[in-house]
Structure 1
């Protein structure tokens, strides 16, 4: 035990290569800032509660106000009157960034580190090694993630041995799919991809550390471990130390992240601005404060990323009180739909607003979840859609895109190769404006289907995702049960965001009496009928039964009597509860390692009781 931090029994000895003396000192240096993090999370809950009780809409900030935690006014931030970060050479061209964790559930180092080899040999310009939405949290996965990254960055002999094996496997696949290999020099290829790391969000607690008897920030844990353990090797190789910051809601929270980065740079003796940060725009409140977030994070901020599922979830959650706001089927909510179109447009305008030094920032486009595995016709159709989506984002001004699987890199990257520009920073777009129409556009609905099939999709994937999470697979290939065995419909690589949005929309439909736009003979539902509690219960039973009967390929047999019933209990309770829980992940984290339904149900009930009473979120590891 250090002076103020408490660690799970035996964890320091098992992971002394992760909890190095340098990392422990960095954790101690940042630990006092956790109290401020807790205050900011309490403010989040209070804002959410106030808006729900008063029917209050999110608004733009007062131009004359100071951004909390800074000496920058809102007006100055919007005008670019701040010193933004210099984009380093290894971030100037990021046509394709892959995303995924650096390990697998319950794996040894040789098996888990294969994930890193696939990533760094993929041909992606950058790879975001995920500590958050795509990384399972069972057992010690978060620490295995750090260990494997450290070994790979150090070019440990074991990693090099595994990388050589993986390169051969990747080339065999490419020869079958493309008709030619994709890796000529595997050692040289390892140095092509920029390493990026996504820390966990401010709303999450670490599972292995406590501070003064309560939970400790997962963000601080990830930041300290990754940077302290890897900055020297990265910088010696001429590479940047780059972080992705998730789930930020306000410029005040961005300023807090900036204080963490500054404190860590100071502790490690690094020049200010050494640490670079992308920000994921995953929360609607961010879109009211984009330039303010850029300014609050200067001189570290390099760009925004436009995700889809998390952002939709935040809109649904922010308007849970508004009975007139009801989303359609999830398939209809593309980046060109209503409020999503406005969101993307505001991000690209913010990125192309210069700071006072004439510097712009980067816009990394959204996720391509397809995997080229399925029937010939299914793969061809899906890859055509994937390329068309990339072409649309490139036309709109994105400097690059995300993919969820290494096999997609060489399919999508040619879109930017043909364009031939390192990035699109500085492309001319209209200036951001902050009037009533701008605010209205961020919640604009458009006519689109809302169907029983759409409800089944929401339920099936939500159940499957919860089950996968509880088994340790926080990134999983999923599709609705009605398409199991149909190889024309491809699996999509999904992470925590897919679960969040599906439960949010189901809650929205049930508690706002959403009506269907089409009839459904199987359920006897007519167009105009409401999504009732009885219908929800029936569909939940039917979709759950399909998963119980599915083959091991789609639903692991060892989960059907253990974690799958727990996933059903969480889905049922979340959707039926009059008080909307803020995060699906809270209830999943609460039940990691649990396989007894009665234990899980008791934890679910305690969570909702505490949240309904005073907004307390149970986020600490119950099995510490």
Structure 2
């Protein structure tokens, strides 16, 4: 049944949209709590976003990211982070997914040690998605969450659910439905604020935090802002100082140069860093968009064994373990392939090899995107990490320089790789516009991060072609055929037609997605985020 349009007005904060079904969530006290967060912290958030733009302008003009001279004392100091709470000392396998009801239940019951409930890269931020997600998590924290599927199957929590960690949106994403003094709130503060207001006391009473994953940070000052937000929320909700714990995703190239500093800024509450590999590849492309000598080949060739990713992951392990923090591995995006045993086994073997690399390198745990991969990853970590973690693996053999973190990866661009990028970027964008932020495409679980890689690579190849001669990544197909906009336009039109005529998620938004992707790809500058212009087109 359609919900009537409603406007809640507790003083300075107004919520616009179909909100009548969420009266128990959007209480006057909850909205006052959100408004307080906005008034206290949004000005600083905007300053930090402006600082991002200033740094990017320097890099576009020819400068390169580097370790900060003004924070050398932090990097060279002998400090450590606060002790990791018992509930998070064994994180060998974590599963991630959107805050959809059935997925939450399946993830919590998956056998993973941790479930990261994602309001960010695997969720489309429609008002209904975000608010339904908050209500789903309230029921999950209470242990009462259940779901009946259209075919009559019932889902409910098992006896030993995974530990819950919530990922709010990044600092850059607005929430246009929540306005304070006429300005949109930060999506991060809405997601965080509603979750802690309704769940923090119950979680803290069970020694379960609350716990958070913090995405898209680029500098220690952005981490310090999160520390201030959490400290203020603890005070307002009468919680013990430091009970809110955070794991930070190192998924931007600038953050790789400030891992010590980010840990230091959050030292009373941080428990680890995570190799957010897919966003990190995208950030490499975006940060170095003005440097024609920093090319990357097609996505399938940019594995964690290439030099710049190997350096990043090993530096993360060394940095974390020196400070007493966990070093979490990255996402396995594969999903089961039904009806083809050979192909399925080949996909699982890729997962095993990836997890074997991580555990031997010294990671304390890893991520998977599908419940069927939990036992696959766990078997590797159980065998090679019998203890709860590997904090004792200090990796003193690792010495990473700026040039190693910035080194381009050599390889090729095939017709199949080019075409796959067009298809993935289009199909994901269409599904996102249709309200689905996590989409299986060719047996891989694609989210905003992987779609960003696809569209950023297309921009890079197309805008550099003809102007850049590289022995590392030739900007032509192996047969010598050129890579040009005419080819992109042709491929986009063909995939748009196929998507429009298909039953794939987002088929009805195919034309909208194609128009957006064309605009972004033809633009003179690589856009910062796909989700920012796409957000303006959400219903």
TM over 0.5: yes
Q: What's the counterpart of residue 429 of structure 1?
A: 395
Q: What's the counterpart of residue 178 of structure 1?
A: none
Q: What's the counterpart of residue 221 of structure 1?
A: 190
Q: CA deviation at 1:83?
A: 5.2
Alignment partners' CA distance in 2, 1:241 and 1:209: 23
CA contact (8 A) 1:283 1:310 kept: yes
Alignment partners' CA distance in 2, 1:548 and 1:149: 34
CA contact (8 A) 2:414 2:477 kept: no
> What are the equivalent positions in structure 2 for 1:224-263 lying under 5 Å apart?
224-263=193-232
Q: Residue deviations 1:588-615, cap 9 Å, x none?
A: 111112xxxxxxxxxxxxxxxxxxxxxx
Instruction: Report whether the alignment pairs 1:314 with 2:283.
Output: yes
Distance 1:118 1:218, change over 3 A: same
CA contact (8 A) 1:515 1:529 kept: no
Alignment partners' CA distance in 2, 1:22 and 1:373: 47
Distance 1:76 1:473, change over 3 A: same
Instruction: Report whether the alignment pairs 1:269 with 2:238.
Output: yes
- Cα RMSD of the aligned pairs, angstroms, is 2.5
CA contact (8 A) 1:337 1:446 kept: yes
Q: CA deviation at 1:48?
A: 1.3
Q: What's the counterpart of residue 565 of structure 1?
A: 511
Instruction: Report whether the alignment pairs 1:44 with 2:52.
Output: yes
Aligned mate of 2:535, from 586, 589, 596: 589
Q: Residue deviations 1:538-595, cap 9 Å, x none?
A: 232233334345x42xx24xx54x41011111111111111221111112111112xx
Q: What's the counterpart of residue 152 of structure 1?
A: 140
Q: What's the counterpart of residue 438 of structure 1?
A: 401
Q: CA deviation at 1:189?
A: 2.5
Secondary structure at the counterpart of residue 304 of structure 1: strand
Aligned mate of 2:446, from 482, 489, 494: 494
Secondary structure at the counterpart of residue 159 of structure 2: helix
CA contact (8 A) 1:99 1:403 kept: yes
- What runs of 5+ residues in structure 2 fail to find an aligned partner? 1-8
Q: CA deviation at 1:209?
A: 0.2
Secondary structure at the counterpart of residue 83 of structure 2: coil
CA contact (8 A) 2:110 2:371 kept: yes
CA contact (8 A) 1:350 1:432 kept: no
Secondary structure at the counterpart of residue 401 of structure 2: helix
Instruction: Report whether the alignment pairs 1:61 with 2:68.
Output: yes
TM-score by length of 1: 0.80
Q: CA deviation at 1:535?
A: 2.3
Q: Residue deviations 1:166-207, cap 9 Å, x none?
A: 99889xxxxxxxxxxxxxxx64233xx101100100000113
Secondary structure at the counterpart of residue 130 of structure 2: helix
Distance 1:227 1:241, change over 3 A: same
CA contact (8 A) 2:80 2:322 kept: no
Q: What's the counterpart of residue 82 of structure 2?
A: 85
Alignment partners' CA distance in 2, 1:41 and 1:144: 29
CA contact (8 A) 2:13 2:31 kept: no
> What are the equivalent positions in structure 2 for 1:398-409 lying under 5 Å apart?
398-409=363-374
Q: What's the counterpart of residue 326 of structure 2?
A: 362
Alignment partners' CA distance in 2, 1:530 and 1:80: 52
Give the number of aligned pairs.
524
CA contact (8 A) 1:516 1:529 kept: no
Alignment partners' CA distance in 1, 2:83 and 2:456: 38
CA contact (8 A) 1:398 1:424 kept: yes
CA contact (8 A) 1:316 1:505 kept: yes
CA contact (8 A) 1:369 1:404 kept: yes
Alignment partners' CA distance in 2, 1:477 and 1:526: 29
Q: CA deviation at 1:223?
A: 1.1
Q: Residue deviations 1:229-280, cap 9 Å, x none?
A: 1112112223221000000001111111111111111211222211000000
Aligned mate of 1:141, from 107, 124, 129: 129
Aligned mate of 2:96, from 90, 94, 99: 99
Alignment partners' CA distance in 1, 2:152 and 2:251: 33
Q: What's the counterpart of residue 451 of structure 1?
A: 414
Secondary structure at the counterpart of residue 591 of structure 1: coil
Q: What's the counterpart of residue 597 of structure 1?
A: none
Q: What's the counterpart of residue 455 of structure 2?
A: 503
Alignment partners' CA distance in 2, 1:403 and 1:526: 34
Instruction: Report whether the alignment pairs 1:8 with 2:5.
Output: no
Q: CA deviation at 1:56?
A: 1.1
Q: CA deviation at 1:443?
A: 1.4
Secondary structure at the counterpart of residue 353 of structure 1: helix
Q: What's the counterpart of residue 545 of structure 1?
A: 497
CA contact (8 A) 1:96 1:409 kept: yes
Q: Residue deviations 1:394-426, cap 9 Å, x none?
A: 111111111111121122211112231201113
CA contact (8 A) 1:366 1:401 kept: yes
Alignment partners' CA distance in 2, 1:167 and 1:127: 22
Instruction: Report whether the alignment pairs 1:531 with 2:483.
Output: yes
- What runs of 5+ residues in structure 1 fail to find an aligned partner? 66-73, 104-112, 171-185, 355-359, 480-490, 519-523, 594-624
